[in-house]
Structure 1
Amino acid sequence: MGDVIRLATLDDAAIVHDVSIRGYKPLKDMDIKFVGATADLATVEENIRRNANYVLERDGRIIATVTVAFPWALGERSIQPYPFIWWFAVDPEFKRQGVGTALLDYVEQRVLVDQIKAPAVYLATATRHPWLVSIYEHRGYVGFYEHEYEGDNIVFLRKVLNEELFAELGNVEVLVNQE
């Protein structure tokens, strides 16, 4: 049957929750307070309802998940006017097998470039994690903003997906209203 990437449904919530909790365990062990590390089932269900939550299935088994949020569509404040990637987790049994790369490649190219026509995408991670920032930089993400969250220094990284459209719109700076 092979690998299939699709949008998650509410029927997938329990499995997405399990993959997230197990995938985020190393971050939780480092006391990095990301939602995916501590979410309950209701939070996973809400994420699936409100955002585009993609899963990668291998032979019918969900082994990775990533969410693309469109905060402006929900009337929420956002740092950038671009889609936001978050809640990315791979089942620990499948780490270092290209599963995460395949899922992110699909979301970036097939969804954000081909379907949405997004000029850029952004994400955030803790700077003290030993390898996450460098993984995203290797994928073409560039840091543009740092912020403290729950005692951690968080870096926001952006990847330009369509140079021409991004140039047309200009390099939009941070949009957060500091309150």
Structure 2
Amino acid sequence: MTQIFRLAQVADAPALAELLRQAYVSNTELGIHFAAAHADNEAAKKHITNNVCYLLEEEGQLLGTVSLRMPWGPNPGPAGLPHIGWLAVSPTAGKKGIGSLLLDFIEQDIARDKLKCPAVTLGTAVEHPWLPQLYENRGYEKFAETDLGLGHITAYFKKRLIKSFS
């Protein structure tokens, strides 16, 4: 079966919103309320319009999504670098490494190779039982923590994509 990445279009907003709600259920059950967990069609439309948002599909089925918030956009990340967000894998996709595939794609194919970004950032809840460690295992380094008023502390991580960048 062939998997394809493609840029999301406004018409994809309902499917994106549904994917996000399904994928983030376990986070909400942990008491972690990421904004993506509550995305409706309008929020998904706005996200697609204002960010670089990719969908991963296989045989017409939506497997996952990942986005970059750009430093010049309306919701920049914390460090003047592209910021990875709204990473989600469909619960029906199973444990097939889809999350790693999405991160590899956005880090390497898009941010490093196409956009020539020296680094990217992302954020997650300090309280999450496994995400901070997962990102550190992928080469991300924590550089800040903040309270965004979401009921958890957000840790920000940075990953160098071009080794000559400090």
TM class by smaller structure: over 0.9
Q: Tell me, what secondary structure is at the counterpart of 2:72? A: helix
Unaligned 5+ segments in structure 1 are 168-179
Identity of aligned residues (%): 34
Unaligned 5+ segments in structure 2 are none
Structure 1 residues 125 and 95: CA distance shift in structure 2, 3 A: farther
Residue pair 2:5, 2:55 contacting (<8 A) in 1 also: yes
Verify: 1:98 aligned to 2:85, yes or no: no
Deviation at 1:77, TM superposition (A): 5.5
Which structure has the greater CA radius of gyration?
1
Deviation at 1:95, TM superposition (A): 3.6
Verify: 1:56 aligned to 2:53, yes or no: no
Residue equivalent to 2:72? 73
Residue equivalent to 2:135? 136
Residues in 1 aligned to 2:31 and 2:137: alpha-carbon distance in whole angstroms: 25
When normalised by structure 1's length, the TM-score is 0.87
Q: Tell me, what secondary structure is at the counterpart of 2:106? A: helix
When normalised by structure 2's length, the TM-score is 0.94
Residue equivalent to 2:157? 157
Residues in 1 aligned to 2:25 and 2:121: alpha-carbon distance in whole angstroms: 23
Q: Deviations over 1:81-111 (max 9, x none)?
A: 1100011110011142111111111111111
Residue pair 2:76, 2:82 contacting (<8 A) in 1 also: no
Residues in 2 aligned to 1:87 and 1:76: alpha-carbon distance in whole angstroms: 13
Residue equivalent to 1:107? 106
Deviation at 1:74, TM superposition (A): 2.5
Deviation at 1:151, TM superposition (A): 2.5
Verify: 1:9 aligned to 2:20, yes or no: no
Structure 1 residues 39 and 75: CA distance shift in structure 2, 3 A: closer
Aligned pairs, number: 165
Residues in 2 aligned to 1:27 and 1:51: alpha-carbon distance in whole angstroms: 23
Residues in 2 aligned to 1:59 and 1:34: alpha-carbon distance in whole angstroms: 29
Residue pair 2:19, 2:89 contacting (<8 A) in 1 also: yes
Q: Deviations over 1:120-146 (max 9, x none)?
A: 000000011111111111111110101
AA in 2 matched with 1:133? P
- Aligned alpha-carbon RMSD (Å): 1.3
